[in-house]
């Protein structure tokens, strides 16, 4: 059963089947977001949030979005919301838009079986690793030396894969395969301007060409807010999955007892709790993590829940207060950012930022932008990182990033690329 609700300049629609939303997704004119709570397909762009970064302070972007949504209501839009992505670097602008239409459904995991695309992309491709594997290991070694000087306790180092093909890459095919591999996770696709283009314009002015797609299947919820209920699910510490069931179980059990990974995870949970505590009257933080699985990885995870002190605090305000967590940056944050800038030979852009939505009431969900890819024409760019702490082994960290690339590579039919 489908119901339509006219909302002035836009429209909300509820549909019975999340798989239907996935099938209707079209790159260049859609935003797709699926979580264990529900699925959303947003179509069209009525307006773009003016250029705003997080560098102006933690209140800058949330305040700009709140004003933007209030103005949308004044123009006759009922229940407006913004969707989009916020980059890792606070000096780069967020890309958030007011969609023309929003369609909601139940979670993908409760839908009819999401079948993979009829044909994987496969085919010939050219691959470039940035940095080269040996250089990545040397970068890990340099960071380990800095850790021993007590300047830092953790740095997340990433690397990138750049793949190109003779034909245009279909984001919808890749998105469907990501959703089929892990229907209970967080699957997303965001339209972005071309690489190098400014993604912001005046509120209701001409919109840039949205010819680049950011998509992925993140295992990590940064934060959600529904009413006064707050939830976060920080992750840190991981192991690759094994095709052998017995070995796979052993890896999960070993991760749960690993002193190195438990220390790394505890630092992330502490940072998340410290960020949320000023906004909550009550915060529940379990003493020990659990293990969560994706198709490619085991992760240590802790579910943090809380009750908002002020109902006016939005999900975006909470997300900006938490971003970036030590799970994607390091500890302490500023020295870790500097180490990342010196060690990584590329700009992260929206990788390790956040993707999600926030409505005028403040409700919303934001996930950490990992296990992701950027598609532009016939080019595909992937990212994966590993947390470097005392006791890290360069070869093992390289192997961890390779395992994390499997999520996107398998969705393209290129699981043997590395």
pLDDT of res. 113: 60
pLDDT value for 62: 94
* Residues in a beta bridge with 157: 386
pLDDT at 58: 62
Which residues on adjacent β-strands are paired with residue 307? Answer: 229, 282
How far is Cα 82 from Cα 116, in angstroms, rounded to an integer?
29
Token output for 93? 């602008």
By the 8 A CB rule, do 214 and 66 touch?
Answer: no
Residue 154 known to be catalytic: yes
- Contact between 308 and 321 under an 8 Å Cβ cutoff? The reply is no
Alpha helices in 75-124 (DSSP H): none
- Residue in 154, 344, 374, 400 annotated catalytic: 154
pLDDT value at residue 194: 78
- What is the model's pLDDT at position 403? 92
Q: Give the up-direction half-sphere exposure of residue 187: CA atoms within 13 A in the CB hemisphere.
A: 33
Is the Cα dihedral 172, 174, 175, 177 positive or negative? positive
In the block, tokens 């993979």 appear at 116
3-state secondary structure of 72: helix
117-to-170, 172, 187, 195, 257 alpha-carbon distances in Å: 11, 9, 15, 27, 38
pLDDT for 418 equals 81
Alpha-carbon gap, residue 188 to 215, rounded angstroms: 5
Give the CA radius of gyration of the chain: 20
- Cα–Cα nearest to 355, from 195, 218, 262: 218
HEC per residue, 381-405: EEEEEEEECCCCCHHHHHHHHHHHH
Q: What is the pLDDT of residue 202?
A: 47
> What is the maximum alpha-carbon separation in the chain?
62
Instruction: State the catalytic residue, choosing from 162, 220, 303, 365.
Output: 220
Q: Tens digit of pLDDT per residue, the chain (418 long)?
A: 344 444 444 555 666 688 889 999 999 889 999 999 999 999 999 999 987 766 655 678 999 999 999 999 988 888 999 999 999 988 888 999 999 999 999 998 876 666 676 555 557 889 999 999 999 999 999 999 999 877 789 999 999 999 999 999 999 999 999 999 988 899 999 999 877 665 444 444 555 677 899 999 999 999 999 999 999 999 999 999 999 999 999 999 999 999 999 999 999 999 999 999 999 999 999 999 999 999 889 999 999 999 999 999 999 999 999 999 999 999 999 999 999 999 999 999 999 999 999 999 999 999 999 999 999 999 999 999 999 999 899 999 999 999 999 999 999 888 877 8
Active site residue 404: no
Residue 9, pLDDT score: 41
pTM here is 0.91
* Contact yes or no for 127/163 (Cβ under 8 A): yes
User: Which residues are paired to 13 by β-bridges?
Assistant: 4, 103
């Amino acid at each position: 059963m489908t119901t339509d609700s006219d909302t002035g300049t836009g429209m909300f629609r509820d549909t019975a089947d999340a798989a239907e939303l996935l099938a209707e997704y079209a790159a260049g004119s859609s935003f797709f977001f699926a979580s264990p709570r529900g699925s959303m397909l947003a179509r069209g762009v009525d307006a773009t949030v003016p250029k705003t970064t997080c560098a102006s302070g933690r209140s800058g972007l949330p305040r700009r979005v709140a004003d933007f949504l209030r103005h949308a209501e004044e123009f006759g839009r009922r229940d407006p919301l913004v969707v989009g992505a916020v980059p890792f670097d606070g000096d780069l602008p967020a890309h958030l838009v007011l969609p023309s239409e929003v369609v909601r459904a139940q979670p993908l995991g409760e839908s009819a079986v999401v079948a993979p695309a009829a044909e994987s992309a496969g085919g010939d491709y050219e691959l470039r690793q940035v940095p080269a594997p040996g250089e990545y290991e040397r970068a890990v070694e340099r960071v380990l030396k800095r850790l021993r000087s007590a300047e830092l306790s953790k740095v997340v180092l990433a690397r990138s894969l750049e793949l190109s093909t003779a034909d245009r890459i279909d984001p919808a095919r890749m998105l469907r395969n990501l959703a089929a591999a892990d229907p209970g996770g967080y699957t997303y696709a965001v339209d972005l301007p071309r690489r190098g283009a400014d993604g912001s314009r005046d509120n209701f002015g001409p919109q840039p060409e949205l010819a680049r797609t950011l998509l992925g299947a993140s295992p990590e919820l940064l934060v959600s807010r529904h009413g006064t209920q707050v939830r976060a699910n920080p992750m840190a510490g991981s192991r690759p999955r094994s095709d052998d069931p017995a070995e796979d179980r052993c890896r999960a059990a070993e991760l749960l007892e690993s002193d190195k990974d438990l220390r790394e995870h505890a630092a992330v949970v502490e940072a998340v709790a410290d960020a949320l505590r000023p906004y909550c009257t009550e915060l529940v933080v379990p003493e020990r993590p659990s293990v969560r699985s994706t198709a490619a990885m085991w992760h240590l995870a802790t579910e943090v829940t809380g009750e908002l002190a002020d109902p006016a605090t939005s999900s975006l305000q909470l997300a900006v207060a938490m971003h970036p967590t030590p799970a994607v940056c390091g500890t302490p944050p500023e020295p870790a950012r500097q180490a990342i800038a010196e060690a990584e030979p590329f700009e992260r852009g929206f990788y390790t930022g956040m993707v999600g939505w926030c409505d005028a009431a403040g409700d919303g969900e934001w996930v950490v932008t990992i296990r992701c890819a950027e598609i532009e024409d016939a080019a595909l760019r992937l990212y994966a990182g590993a947390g470097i702490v005392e006791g890290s082994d360069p070869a093992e960290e390289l192997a961890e990033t390779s395992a994390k690339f499997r999520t996107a590579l398998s969705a393209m039919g290129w699981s043997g690329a590395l």
